[in-house]
Structure 1
């Protein structure tokens, strides 16, 4: 069996569907996980999907992805704008990584315009809601197969 791709999600994403639906919509994280699993299966990839509210846990999972995965998709959520530790873990993981955000972070509060993750990611997808995860899986598969 080939190595999986990891899809890692940061804080408060477990509240999708009920958290600020005017901003994030009504799609739940379980809905996004189903979309990711279907997309990965359609293109022949195993998938590891996880969410945590704890920065250290996210760092541990990024390190695990570096050891076990072909690539990684990460929505660090609020940690995007605050965590050098997550940035450093992604650098150390040394696998293709795509940063995803449900909303267009550049059309929101000014503090959300800076990402510690973007400079070390292969690419960034934001503003397309749950569809961004599907796009990220498809793009990551192209990078891995190249």
Structure 2
């Protein structure tokens, strides 16, 4: 039985993966991302909570609900570049969080180069597609305290 939960949270427009701007995001669907995350979590003896919402307040609530969990892998989508509320929720939650982006945000429009979230997360992974989520789960698992 998995020992703890990792929350993988997805923000706006990620429900459109597979058809949304395939030249940037490819043809991977959100269901593909979830399957990869389930396998990665199981490999680290973690259980998975996987969610997506297009609503900022709901994403804040999901971060609050993750309090006390093993960690969060968060792709906040465009809210990364606009949301002080998400930044504050991450900081207040105390949950180790990894920020993930499918594309390399630094190779895109200048407004995507700034993240309100980066200063309050453990790390940032961008540009590796769905593998970024797998890497985020692995990074959280690698930081797991060693039990006596």
TM, length-normalised to structure 2: 0.95
Q: Which residue of 2 aligns with 1:43?
A: 44
CA contact (8 A) 2:3 2:45 kept: no
The number of residue pairs the alignment matches comes to: 145
Counterpart in the other structure of 2:20? 19
The equivalent of 1:85 in structure 2 is 85
Q: Secondary structure at the match of 1:144?
A: coil
Contact 2:6 2:48 in 1 (8 A): yes
Q: Is the 8 A contact 2:81 2:116 kept in 1?
A: yes
Report matched runs for 1:34-113 at 5 Å.
Answer: 34-66=35-67, 68-113=68-113
**Separation in structure 1 between the aligned mates of residue 6 and residue 118 of structure 2, nearest angstrom:** 19
Q: What's the Cα RMSD here?
A: 1.0
Instruction: State the alpha-carbon separation in 2 of the partners of residues 2 and 128 from structure 1.
Output: 28
Q: Secondary structure at the match of 1:129?
A: coil
Is it true that 1:10 corresponds to 2:11 in the alignment? Answer: yes
Work out whether residues 39 and 137 of structure 1, in 8 Å CA contact, stay in contact via their aligned partners in 2.
yes
Specify the SS of the correspondent of 2:7.
strand
Moved more, 113-122 or 2-11: 2-11
Would you tell me which structure has more helix in proportion to its own residues? 1
User: How far apart in 1 are the matches of 2:70 and 2:137?
Assistant: 12
TM-score (norm 1): 0.96
**Whole-angstrom CA distance in 2 between matches of 1:46 and 1:104:** 28
* CA shift for structure 1 position 17: 0.3
On the 8 A contact 2:63/2:90 being kept in 1, the answer is yes
Cα offset for 1:47?
0.6
